[in-house]
Every structure is written in C-alpha cells, then in structure tokens.
Structure 1
Amino acid sequence: MTTEFVDGVTAQSDALGFEPAVVYVPHPIQNRTKAEVEEIADRAFAQVMAMLKSA
C-alpha cells in the first residue's frame, strides 16, 4: 500500500475491527520507472517476509 492511503487503511481497519498486515511504500507508484519500482519492492521485501514468518 502506498503512504497516501495510511489514513484510509487505519479508518477501514478500525471500522472492521481488523488489523491487517500492511507494508507502506512511497507514493505515487504509477509514474515510476521499472527500476524505481524494483528498488521500492526490494526495500519492502524484508518487511513482507517478516510478516509472513510471524503469521
């Protein structure tokens, strides 16, 4: 999820009484180059793997 939607995720989570596993990445995504998106994904990978291991 991009950082633009932190408030939306929080509001929806509170409304549903559910705490999702979320990794936030920089916003926006759509205008990034392939290399930039790959770099963002590489930086987020460790967080994603940690969440999967703890699940």
Structure 2
Amino acid sequence: MNIVTTGFVDGVEAQSESLGFDPAVVYVPHPIQNRTKAEIEAIADQAFAKVMALLQSS
C-alpha cells in the first residue's frame, strides 16, 4: 500500500500502467513539506480510515 500526495497522481498512474500493476494508493493533499504539525495530523486523521480499509482488504 502506498500513501502519495496528489501532486504525484500522474506519476503513479504512468508507473502502474508501465508495470502492469494496480497498487493500493491513498492520496493526501499536496504539498506536505510546508505543513504545520497540526495540518499533518489532520491529513493523517482524514486518511486513516482509507488506509485501514485497504490494509484490511489485502
């Protein structure tokens, strides 16, 4: 499973197509590096349910 920012959607799709592999991906807002601790925690909280659902489905 991968957690990727929305800035890399095209890259993930291109790589997936070239490899013939459909990875489990959870996208989070881009960019990440200039976020405050509170913002990162909010993003993580929002992604948590999706991450857990993908982990439980594998």
TM range (shorter): over 0.9
CA distance in 2, matches of 1:32, 1:10: 25
* Gaps in structure 2 of 5+ consecutive residues: none
Aligned to 2:47: 44
Q: Partner amino acid for 1:25? A: V
CA displacement 1:5-55 (0-9 Å, x = unmatched)? 000000000000001110000000000000000000000000000001110
User: What RMSD in Å do the two structures reach over aligned CA positions?
Assistant: 0.3
Give the fraction of aligned pairs with identical amino acids, expressed as a percent. Answer: 76
Higher share of residues assigned strand? 2
Normalised TM-score (structure 1): 0.98
* Gaps in structure 1 of 5+ consecutive residues: none
- In the comparison of the two structures, how many residue pairs are matched? 55
